[in-house]
Amino acid sequence: MTNPTACLLIIGNEVLSGRTRDANLQFIAQGLGEIGIPLREVRVIPDVPETIIATVNEVRAKYDHVFTTGGIGPTHDDITSECVAKAFGVPWEPHPEAWERLAAHYRKLDPPGDYNAARQRMGTMPRGATLIDNAISIAPGFTIGNVHVMAGVPRIMQAMFATLAPRLAGGPKILSHTVHARGAQEGAIAAELAAVQAHYPALDIGSYPYYRPEGGGVALVAKGTDAAEVASAGAMMLALLGTAGREGEPE
Amino acid sequence: MTNPTACLLIIGNEVLSGRTRDANLQFIAQGLGEIGIPLREVRVIPDVPETIIATVNEVRAKYDHVFTTGGIGPTHDDITSECVAKAFGVPWEPHPEAWERLAAHYRKLDPPGDYNAARQRMGTMPRGATLIDNAISIAPGFTIGNVHVMAGVPRIMQAMFATLAPRLAGGPKILSHTVHARGAQEGAIAAELAAVQAHYPALDIGSYPYYRPEGGGVALVAKGTDAAEVASAGAMMLALLGTAGREGEPE
């Protein structure tokens, strides 16, 4: 069984300007690995309608799933939802359930909040959207086709991902085996490591040097879906590190 | 004077799998803002030759500058340099200065290190490359055309960026003015904020909610190259926040 593929679009000028440090990529990458939908590409793009529309259409044709973060709030620069509707060529209109839920929320506030035009944007979605509820914010994300639209605020995005993940038909989980050696140098073991990769062409064998005040080293990682192969590659990597080798990530 | 544009390619399976959290995007985004070369797009792509070659060729045609991080070490998955040569259609060959510098380094180690085939890859570059030295690692990055190839290890990348930045002809610095209000809600001020954006079409006006245990709020940010406009938009945003408004980022 092969693994479906995924692309993440991080939408927002604030990430591109460096004002905000993205905190979603790693969470989503790890979460997708768990359900066997490996992330193959990430793009960070600005709040520019033509860019969002063109990028969504490019990547939804190329990958099995597209996840987006950012741009679904109430302000003028929150244009993801509207742009996704344009990408799919469907109307952007009140979603009955989301609209009523938001209206009820502002009605019940004490004093009542104003369900104004800005907030109504959060209840407006591409026709045919399925809601992605979350336990933290009233405003839901949504799925249309193979595109999953989530919030940019990390704890809201994480709550949406928790709702969304069980709905997705994943593939075999991506397994990982790490060994490391303090004091080892990549350049001294590169040939042997290349031989491990050649021996296990279906696995992804990576080498990651690390630097610590008390001395650096190298971590070797085997990833794949076949547990026996991953374990066997782990043993081969451990052997090539000699007496310095240790199981697991550098502590 | 207009600003040149930039794209960043983060190359590496370890970022896409979530093993490694990228620590370069924000540094480069802020550094490029300082020299007036705003980052317009970021892509995270895997260690797949066809993907690297095609992506480099796509984005170098689209943006004034392309920066890459990752994939220039000695191991089998370090293929950025070779792929950039293929993208430019030039030979990938020993760079005389880098090659000799690396050879001398391993010769002088006590005991001498082996300048083996893996390490020689770090001295091999696209024909016509200009070195990007750095104070931390012997192995340099390089520039070819409008593509700047840097290490993925953050402190080495940062040292390379320090060498590279003064060589680039930037534009006016991107200036930023932030005001915030604890307890403010985006949905309540969205219309007024949209009016600020409409009043200053050349600026980028953003709204960023924040959540803290002691209470959330919203930060409003104006960005642009015209100092008077940025300051004036800052004053307009401060006014719309009313008595809750404060200058600067949320503390």
For residue B173, pLDDT over 90 is answered with yes
Q: How high is the pLDDT of residue B1? A: 67
Q: How high is the pLDDT of residue A140? A: 97
Average pLDDT over chain B reads 96
**Sign of torsion over alpha carbons B148, B11, B40, B180:** negative
- Rounded to a whole number of angstroms, the distance from the CA of A44 to the nearest CA of chain B is 5
Q: How high is the pLDDT of residue A68? A: 98
CA A200 to each of CA A190, A236, A237, B71: distance values in angstroms, whole numbers, following the listed order = 15, 11, 12, 20
pLDDT above 90 covers a percentage of chain B that reads 93
Compute the radius of gyration of chain A from its Cα atoms. 22
Report the complex ipTM. 0.96
Mean pLDDT of A206-223: 92
Mean pLDDT of A59-78: 97
Q: How high is the pLDDT of residue A111? A: 84
Q: Which among A1, A26, A34 has a CA at the least distance from the CA of B19?
A: A26
Q: Domains in chain A, please, with CATH?
A: 6-167 (3.40.980.10), 175-247 (3.30.70.1130)
- Over the stretch A82-137, which tens digit does the pLDDT of each residue have? 999 999 999 999 999 999 999 999 999 888 889 999 999 999 999 999 999 998 88
- Over the stretch A123-173, which tens digit does the pLDDT of each residue have? 999 999 999 999 888 999 999 999 999 999 999 999 999 999 999 999 999
For residue A61, pLDDT over 70 is answered with yes
A34, A75, A237, best to mutate vs chain B, most B CBs in 10 Å: A75
Q: Which residues of A touch B158 (CB under 8 A)?
A: none
CA distance A151 to B185: 16
Could B193 and A76 be called an inter-chain contact, meaning their C-beta atoms sit closer than 8 Å?
yes
Please tell me which residue, B155 or B215, carries the higher pLDDT value: B155
Mean pLDDT of B79-85: 98
Running DSSP on this structure, what letter comes out for residue B2? Answer: P
- Over the stretch B208-245, which tens digit does the pLDDT of each residue have? 999 888 889 999 999 999 999 999 999 999 999 999 99
Q: Which residues of B touch A22 (CB under 8 A)?
A: 22, 25-26
CA distance A240 to A81: 51
Q: How high is the pLDDT of residue B215? A: 85
How many interface pairs between A and B have CB atoms less than 8 angstroms apart? 185
Chain B residue with minimum CA distance to A6: B16
Please tell me which residue, B111 or B49, carries the higher pLDDT value: B49
- Over the stretch A9-50, which tens digit does the pLDDT of each residue have? 999 999 999 999 999 999 999 999 999 999 999 999 999 999
